[in-house]
C-alpha cells in the first residue's frame, strides 16, 4: 500500500500575475513612503540646524556669548555642515536625540505619549466624516430633486470654505459659553471630545462627499449596473452589490490622505480646544524653542502619515485590484 502525496494545485496564471502586480505596487508605495520620510529629515535639518546661528536661536534672547559658545560646542554647530547632518541622521535613527529642553525627558517618548490623544481624535473624526460624507455624496448622486442633486453639494462646498478656527470659535461660543452644555478644554471627560471631533469631521466631509458623488455617478452609467437593472434587481441590491463596493476604493485612498491630515493637520483644533495631542505639543515646543522635541514631533507625524497612506493603498488594492496593474 503506497502513500498518496497531495500537492496544492498551482494558482491560475491570471491570479499569479495579479499577485505579482499587487506586490510590486505595494513595494513601490513603501519605497515612496521611505523617501518621503527622508525628505522630511532633510527639510527638518536645514530648517532647524542650518540657520546662521542655530545656537543663539535655541537660547533665550538674554543669553550671553558664553552660553551661545557652550551650546555651539555641545551640539557641534561649529563643525562642517555635512558632519552636522550625519550626526543628526544618526541621532534620529538611533533615537538618541538630546533630552527635551523644557521637560528634560526623551523627546520621542514625549511625542509618543501625546500621539494617542491625536489618534483618538483623528479616528473618531475620520469615521464620522467618512460616514456623513459618504451619505451626502451618495444621496447627491442618486437623488432626483433639486435639493439632493444641487443643494447637498452646495452645502458641502460652502462648509469646505469655512475656516477651521472660525468654526471652532463659533461652536465654543454657542455650546460652551451660551448654552454651557459642552466643555472646551482637554480630555477630562468624554464630552470634551465632541466639539473638536465635529470641527475636524466638518473639514473632511466635503472632499469625501465629492469623491463618492463622482464615483457613484460613473458607476450608475456602467455596463454591469445597466445589466443588473435589466435583470430586474432592486435598487437596494444594485447599490450594495455593484455600486458601494466599487466606489469604495477611491474613497479609501482619500481616507488615507485625510488620516494623515487629521494626524498632523489638526494643530489648530488641538490648540484651540486645549487637546493634549501631538499637534499642540509640536506648537508648544516650537514656541519654547525646544528643538529636540520639535524634531521628534515632526518625524512621528511624518512616519504616521506614511503608514496611514500605505494602509490605505493596501485596502484600495484589495477592493480594486485593477489599480495595481
> In terms of pLDDT, which residue wins out, 74 or 282?
282
- Tell me the pLDDT band of 104, cut-offs 50, 70 and 90: confident
pLDDT at 268 over 90: no
Q: Is the pLDDT of residue 8 over 70?
A: no
Q: Over range 14-25, report the average pLDDT.
A: 56
Q: How many residues would you count in the chain?
A: 325
pLDDT of residue 7: 47
pLDDT tens, 211-257?
A: 988 888 888 777 777 777 777 776 677 776 767 777 777 888 888 87
Residue 112 pLDDT greater than 90, yes or no? yes
User: Given a cut of 80, is residue 145 above it in pLDDT?
Assistant: no
**Does the pLDDT at position 324 exceed 70?**
no
Is the pLDDT at 132 greater than 70? The verdict is yes
Among 105-114, 120-129, 245-254, 298-307, the least confident range: 245-254
Q: What is the mean pLDDT of residues 38-64?
A: 76
Task: Compare 151 and 205 and report the one with higher pLDDT.
Answer: 205
- For 64-75, write each residue's pLDDT tens digit: 888 888 888 877
Predicted TM-score (pTM) of the model is 0.80
User: What is residue 195's predicted lDDT score, i.e. its pLDDT?
Assistant: 93
Question: Do residues 244 and 197 lie in contact, with contact meaning Cβ atoms separated by under 8 Å?
Answer: no
* 216 touches 244 (CB < 8 A): no
**Domain parsing of the chain, residue ranges:** 115-289
**Residue 184: what are its φ and ψ, rounded to 5°?**
-125, 0
Q: How far apart (Å, rounded) are the C-alpha atoms in residues 271 and 199?
A: 13
More confident residue, 119 or 17: 119
> What pLDDT score was predicted for residue 13?
47
Residue with cell 551650546: 71
Class of the CATH-defined domain 115-289: mainly alpha
DSSP helix/strand/coil, 107: helix
Q: Which of 15-19, 40-44, 244-248 has the lowest mean pLDDT?
A: 15-19
Q: Is the pLDDT higher at 321 or at 128?
A: 128
Residue 119: half-sphere exposure toward Cβ, Cα within 13 Å: 12
Distance CA 128, CA 120 (A): 12
51 — pLDDT class (breaks 50, 70, 90): low
Q: What is the pLDDT of residue 21?
A: 54
Amino acid at each position: 500500500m503506497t502513500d498518496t502525496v497531495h500537492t496544492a494545485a498551482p494558482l491560475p496564471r491570471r491570479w499569479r500575475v495579479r499577485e505579482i502586480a499587487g506586490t510590486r505596487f505595494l513595494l513601490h508605495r513603501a519605497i515612496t513612503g521611505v523617501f518621503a520620510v527622508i525628505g522630511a529629515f532633510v527639510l527638518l535639518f536645514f530648517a532647524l540646524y542650518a540657520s546662521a546661528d542655530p545656537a543663539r536661536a535655541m537660547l533665550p534672547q538674554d543669553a550671553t556669548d558664553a552660553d551661545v559658545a557652550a551650546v555651539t560646542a555641545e551640539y557641534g554647530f561649529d563643525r562642517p555642515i555635512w558632519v552636522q547632518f550625519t550626526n543628526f541622521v544618526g541621532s534620529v535613527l538611533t533615537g538618541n536625540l538630546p533630552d527635551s529642553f523644557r521637560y528634560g525627558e526623551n523627546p520621542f517618548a514625549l511625542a509618543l505619549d501625546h500621539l494617542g490623544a491625536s489618534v483618538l481624535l483623528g479616528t473618531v473624526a475620520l469615521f464620522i466624516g467618512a460616514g456623513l460624507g459618504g451619505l451626502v455624496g451618495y444621496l447627491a448622486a442618486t437623488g432626483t430633486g433639486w435639493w439632493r442633486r444641487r443643494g447637498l453639494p452646495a452645502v458641502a462646498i460652502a462648509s469646505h470654505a469655512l475656516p477651521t478656527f472660525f468654526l471652532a470659535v463659533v461652536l465654543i461660543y454657542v455650546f460652551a459659553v451660551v448654552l454651557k452644555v459642552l466643555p472646551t478644554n482637554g480630555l477630562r471627560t468624554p464630552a470634551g471630545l465632541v466639539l473638536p471631533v465635529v470641527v475636524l469631521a466638518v473639514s473632511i466631509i466635503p472632499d469625501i462627499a465629492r469623491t463618492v458623488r463622482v464615483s457613484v455617478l460613473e458607476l450608475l452609467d456602467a455596463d454591469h449596473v445597466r445589466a443588473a437593472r435589466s435583470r430586474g434587481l432592486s435598487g437596494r441590491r444594485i447599490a450594495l452589490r455593484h455600486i458601494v463596493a466599487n466606489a469604495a476604493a477611491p474613497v479609501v485612498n482619500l481616507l488615507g490622505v485625510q488620516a494623515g491630515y487629521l494626524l498632523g493637520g489638526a494643530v489648530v483644533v488641538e490648540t484651540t480646544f486645549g487637546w493634549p495631542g501631538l499637534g499642540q505639543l509640536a506648537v508648544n515646543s516650537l514656541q519654547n524653542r525646544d528643538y529636540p522635541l520639535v524634531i521628534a514631533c515632526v518625524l512621528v507625524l511624518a512616519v504616521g502619515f506614511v503608514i496611514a497612506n500605505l494602509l490605505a493603498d493596501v485596502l484600495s488594492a484589495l477592493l480594486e485590484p485593477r489599480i495595481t496593474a
